[in-house]
Structure 1
Amino acid sequence: MTVLLVVVGAMLAAVLLAGAGDRLRLPWPVLLLLLGAAAAFVPGIEAPDIDPELILPLFLPPLLYATAQRTSWALFRQRWRAIAFLAVGLVVATVAAVAGTLVALTGVTVAAALALGAAVAPPDPVAVEAVAGPLGVPRRLVSTLQSEGLFNDATSLVVFTTAVGAASAGGELGGVAIVVQFVYGAVVAVVLGVVAAWLARRLLDRLTDVVAGNGLTLVLPFAVYLGADALGASGVIAVVVTALQMRQHSDADASEARLAAASFWSVVELLVTGVAFALIGLELRTVVEQADRSLGTILAHAGIVCVVVIGVRALWMTVAWLTNGRAASAPERAPATAAETVVLTWAGMRGLATLALALALPLTLDDGSPFPDRAELVIVACSVLVVTLVGPGLTLPWLVRRLGLREDDGVAAEAERALAARARRAALDELAAVDRQALGVDDDQGEQVLDEMRTRFARIGRALSGDDVGRPGEDDDGDDADDYRERLARMRRRREQWQRLQAVALAAARREVVAARAEPGTDPEVADRVLRRLDVRTLGTSGL
């Protein structure tokens, strides 16, 4: 019952703080973490006893799936060098720097230090999305942070698992073993993700109920994650690949399912994120109570580790900036300026994976002896989490304004207009090639309706910005009061012709936007906004 009360309370707090954070212009996950931490020190409120091994499988799959749906394969192909540089190179560098620092400060074993380094190395894509997304930061920066966050957990998990195994067995840590495990885990995960997405698409094609389809997509990331774990592969990569494949091959005509899924996953993401960050806050007191050494000494060590973590990221982003500065032919790369380097450094927020990996450190070694300095290692990890999440979360809005890095609204608007124009051309081409006889518009009235439809879709760029495409007028046929039935029959036929033609044109526009979303150079967020307006218009006119 205690666990249920905490979960329900966390979900309610997430809903309330999401609204409060929007009003206060503060990131609600940070507010929720602070609320959970404060509640943890209130007598009578205890953190729920959850097996640490269940934290990642319970919370990470749906959050990864929801985040990955907002990007595309084209974006990953376009930025694979940056992803490898950050999700692999930066993680490895951070692990090495943190492990060396811990060994020098505390004298813990190399394997235990590497395990802790792997826990604090990966920034959290959920925290980035919740904090940086609403600030109006240029999309190049947000998508870079998202791409990094979607894959860096895979690198950290491989290093963590191998290091914990070596520490528990008291054996040597082999670098070759880590590389082999990473390659195997990545390859198997990609294959599993592609196969799972293919099977899910086949099943969704046979499900006519939108609710059942949403239920399948909710179960899918958990099943894929657990399947990858059973095969010794990366559950993170498997879930991300599944989400990308599902979105890449989505049905352009599934307007109702797409709108329902977007709303459904927004709610799931809000509630799951709320529970996860509340649990992070509640765990802080338990972690502090487990410490054997002086808390002041531990926090001093933690402060040094925090400086190392931020310093390594700053150095890495500076190298990326200097490298990108010579790549003038690739303006989409980030960081491209000193200001962007500062923001990307400060936005390296840790979150759920750091807490879960730290708590997953075993209590004992294989020989039954206590895991060396476990309590101190967990406190250091939680300190890095709090410093890198709360500090940037509360100051990033000010920093973005100070550096003048807000996205130019005209850039996004121009991208939407260009995509809307492309959708308009597709709709007009479809109307030009329409089979009049098959659609029942091969008479004089049908030709008139077709001309009106072409005129209205010529303005679809404005329509997709919020104006109505328009419906056929009901008083366009004259005022012949003596022949009411004939006029009514013409009006009904006119409406039917209008509806058929508009359905054909909207379908062509949707297909064009879906195709554009999978092309390099198209911002998935812009494509999703245009596609959503087309979907809403499709459902709004289907009942004519």
Structure 2
Amino acid sequence: MQAVAGRFTQNQRGDVEAKFQIFLTLLAVLAGTALLARRVNIAPAILLLIAGITLAFIPGMPAIELPPDLILLLVLPPLIYSASVAMSWREFCANLRAIGLLAIGCVIFTACAVAAASHYLIGLPWSVGFLLGAIVAPPDVVAPLAIARKLGLPRRIVVVLEGEGLANDATALILYRFAVAAIMTGAFSLTKASGTFVAIMAGELAFGVAVGWLSLRARHWVRDPQIEITLSLLTPYIAYWIPEHHGGSGVIATVACGLYISWNGPLLISAATRLQGIFFWDLVIYLIEGMLFLLTGFQLRALLERSKEFAFGDILSATLLVAAIVIAARFIWVYPAFYLPRFLSRRLRASDPYPSWRTVFVIGFTGVRGAVSLAAALALPYALPGGETFPYRDLILFVTFGVILITLVGLGLTLPAVVKLLGVTRVGHREQIAEHDDEITARREALAAAQASLKKITDNRELTDEVLKLLHARHQTRASLLPDPIGSPEHEASAVGIALVRELIAVERKFIHAQLRAGKITDEARRRIERDLDLEEASLANRESGPAPL
């Protein structure tokens, strides 16, 4: 008996070690692919997807299934929450009309277009066609935004794309649940579904704001960076899971929660928490996004094995047709969505003139599909309540993966060339220069306000000369660290000065390390000195960040 238990334990240990080795392999591939993407100037998501496909077909590589609940319940909440917190509430509200027309209108339009095309051209039932449309309708937010920021696109394009990416998953997942319910029960009511859709949206907005309010108050009361960061990690899951459990999508609640914290958090979150939290969340999102695209690529092998009951030519033609429909539907939608409201409203034209056709074209060109679509397809049930096989499940899976591959690789690789050809980056470059100058002005005015407050403090309080010297020295140091306007002689001199300061910091680091090894300072002292040097170096990186090159 003990020998059997020992072998069982040994087998368990072997399974754990094998899974951990696969995990380490994926981490190594993630790091190497990200480095390669930086060298060849390609979006990491594209190379990670291709790397995942390549790894899946290596002889001896075990199949890795992508559990749908892993994405919809564990991965999606922190991705949405992090993007919401990073977004400006003011800019989100200013572009709410465009975001809503894309995140709600375009998703519904695309789902209906795919349903009609798959019904009349492929022969799928209406309910299955609409389900397929709901799955492939929402564009991904990760890959196109990474490209857009690197290219230096105009700020408004980035805000609209980011806002759409935050909200469109909610629309698609709600439509998805309606379609699955219609197939499972054989009944569907448009009036009831529309009312439910509006109720879910309103309820999740209120719930998300409430969770954001409670989260900020709890973190402000705790005043401990480790606990605050832990609470910040719990927040998106609370905002997402409860509405999702009660029949909603959870996405709108998470977005509302993140936007509330983005707008109200700066005065309630401590500096120490913010510094540590930025690093923590950057690493978490980097690992999640990278693993997501890698594992998405891994699914092709399993999908090919499942799709043997269909002729490969039929699957390929269906995939190409649906991919063409989702790309065309976005272009068909975006131009009326951006131009028709202005044509109908003189007031809107006066406050927000017609955008350039180039701007609208770039927004239309960013219809890249991602892992959320694949997760929704994988989450389809295997059988109907009566025991029959879920209709066309494997075909939906393969078509969804094909649409992701075609849009991510095809549109993702050509987007930089399209943007460059249209000359859109020139507008973005001018905007970034103006934003940089406005930032310098705000920094100078903030220092002036602090100087005025310092004068009142010195007039109303009895302070020693040493304290006054310390305060004035701090103010002068802050003033000397202000960045200079781009293009000015001072800016060029500042760039040279920053490079030299980096060299001096490196000298200090080597000296402190030598002092530590000689036993003249303790490790604790070394860490405190290193922290000051790290903060100074981070400040230098913040000063030299500027517009993307043309």
Identify whether the pair has TM-score above 0.5, normalized to the shorter chain. Answer: yes
Q: Secondary structure at the match of 2:390?
A: coil
Instruction: Check if 1:10 corresponds to 2:26.
Output: yes
Give the corresponding residue for 1:309.
326
Name the TM-score, length of structure 1 as normaliser.
0.80
Distance 1:37 1:535 in 2: 37
User: Which letter does structure 2 place at the counterpart of 1:414?
Assistant: A
Distance 2:380 2:469 in 1: 73
* Cα deviation, residue 452, structure 1: 6.3
Q: Note closer, same or farther for the CA distance 1:462–1:162 as it changes in structure 2 (3 Å cut).
A: same
Distance 1:213 1:134 in 2: 31
* Cα deviation, residue 187, structure 1: 1.6
Distance 2:298 2:474 in 1: 59
Give the corresponding residue for 1:510.
none
User: Which letter does structure 2 place at the counterpart of 1:276?
Assistant: L
State which of 416, 432, 439 in structure 2 corresponds to 1:419: 439
Instruction: Check if 1:390 corresponds to 2:409.
Output: yes
Distance 1:453 1:282 in 2: 55
Distance 1:106 1:310 in 2: 18
Q: Secondary structure at the match of 1:433?
A: helix
Tell me if the contact between 2:103 and 2:165 (Cα under 8 Å) persists in the aligned partners.
Answer: yes
Distance 2:460 2:211 in 1: 38
| 190-199 vs 349-358, greater mean Cα deviation | 190-199
State which of 196, 202, 211 in structure 1 corresponds to 2:217: 202
* Cα deviation, residue 136, structure 1: 1.6
Distance 1:321 1:228 in 2: 32
Q: Note closer, same or farther for the CA distance 1:364–1:72 as it changes in structure 2 (3 Å cut).
A: same
Give the corresponding residue for 1:368.
387
Deviations 1:485-524 (A, max 9, x none): xxxxxxxxxxxxxxxxxxxxxxxxxxxxxxxxxxxxxxxx
* Cα deviation, residue 387, structure 1: 0.8
Give the corresponding residue for 1:122.
138
Q: Note closer, same or farther for the CA distance 1:461–1:118 as it changes in structure 2 (3 Å cut).
A: same
Distance 1:229 1:354 in 2: 17
* Cα deviation, residue 443, structure 1: 5.5
Give the corresponding residue for 1:353.
372
Instruction: Check if 1:293 corresponds to 2:310.
Output: yes
Equivalent positions of 1:20-59 (< 5 A) are 20-59=36-75
Q: Secondary structure at the match of 2:86?
A: coil
Tell me if the contact between 2:369 and 2:408 (Cα under 8 Å) persists in the aligned partners.
Answer: yes
* Cα deviation, residue 14, structure 1: 2.1
Equivalent positions of 1:309-458 (< 5 A) are 309-323=326-340, 329-330=350-351, 336-407=355-426, 408-434=428-454, 435-436=456-457, 442=463
State which of 233, 239, 243 in structure 2 corresponds to 1:228: 243
Tell me if the contact between 1:141 and 1:340 (Cα under 8 Å) persists in the aligned partners.
Answer: yes
* Cα deviation, residue 47, structure 1: 3.3
* Cα deviation, residue 280, structure 1: 0.7
Instruction: Check if 1:68 corresponds to 2:84.
Output: yes
Distance 1:397 1:535 in 2: 26
Q: Note closer, same or farther for the CA distance 1:52–1:440 as it changes in structure 2 (3 Å cut).
A: same
Distance 1:83 1:116 in 2: 23
Distance 1:18 1:325 in 2: 42
Identity %: 31
* Cα deviation, residue 431, structure 1: 2.5
Give the corresponding residue for 1:507.
none
Give the corresponding residue for 1:248.
263
Q: Report the number of matched residues.
A: 472
Tell me if the contact between 1:86 and 1:152 (Cα under 8 Å) persists in the aligned partners.
Answer: yes
Q: Note closer, same or farther for the CA distance 1:449–1:283 as it changes in structure 2 (3 Å cut).
A: closer
User: Which letter does structure 1 place at the counterpart of 2:444?
Assistant: R
Distance 2:446 2:127 in 1: 59
User: Which letter does structure 2 place at the counterpart of 1:353?
Assistant: V
Q: Note closer, same or farther for the CA distance 1:536–1:320 as it changes in structure 2 (3 Å cut).
A: closer
Distance 2:193 2:276 in 1: 42
Give the corresponding residue for 1:509.
none
Distance 1:237 1:6 in 2: 35
User: Which letter does structure 1 place at the counterpart of 2:272?
Assistant: E
* Cα deviation, residue 440, structure 1: 6.0
Q: Note closer, same or farther for the CA distance 1:433–1:230 as it changes in structure 2 (3 Å cut).
A: same
Give the corresponding residue for 2:295.
279
Give the corresponding residue for 1:148.
164
Deviations 1:352-403 (A, max 9, x none): 1110111112111111101111111111111111111111221112222222
Tell me if the contact between 2:207 and 2:253 (Cα under 8 Å) persists in the aligned partners.
Answer: yes
Give the corresponding residue for 1:166.
182
Distance 1:399 1:463 in 2: 33
Distance 1:449 1:130 in 2: 43
| 307-316 vs 126-135, greater mean Cα deviation | 126-135
* Cα deviation, residue 142, structure 1: 1.6
Name the TM-score, length of structure 2 as normaliser.
0.79
Deviations 1:163-213 (A, max 9, x none): 1011012x2222123212221221221122112112211221233332332
Distance 1:133 1:382 in 2: 26
- Structure 2: gaps spanning 5 or more residues: 1-15, 486-490, 499-537, 544-550
| 217-226 vs 440-449, greater mean Cα deviation | 440-449
User: Which letter does structure 1 place at the counterpart of 2:140?
Assistant: D
* Cα deviation, residue 449, structure 1: 6.5
User: Which letter does structure 2 place at the counterpart of 1:248?
Assistant: W
| 156-165 vs 406-415, greater mean Cα deviation | 406-415
Tell me if the contact between 2:153 and 2:429 (Cα under 8 Å) persists in the aligned partners.
Answer: no
Instruction: Check if 1:187 corresponds to 2:207.
Output: no
Q: Note closer, same or farther for the CA distance 1:430–1:278 as it changes in structure 2 (3 Å cut).
A: same
| 273-282 vs 228-237, greater mean Cα deviation | 228-237
Distance 2:355 2:458 in 1: 56
* Aligned alpha-carbon RMSD (Å): 2.9
User: Which letter does structure 2 place at the counterpart of 1:88?
Assistant: I
Q: Note closer, same or farther for the CA distance 1:336–1:46 as it changes in structure 2 (3 Å cut).
A: farther
* Cα deviation, residue 454, structure 1: 6.0
Q: Note closer, same or farther for the CA distance 1:377–1:452 as it changes in structure 2 (3 Å cut).
A: closer
* Cα deviation, residue 346, structure 1: 1.8
* Cα deviation, residue 458, structure 1: 5.8
* Cα deviation, residue 453, structure 1: 6.1
Higher helix proportion: 2
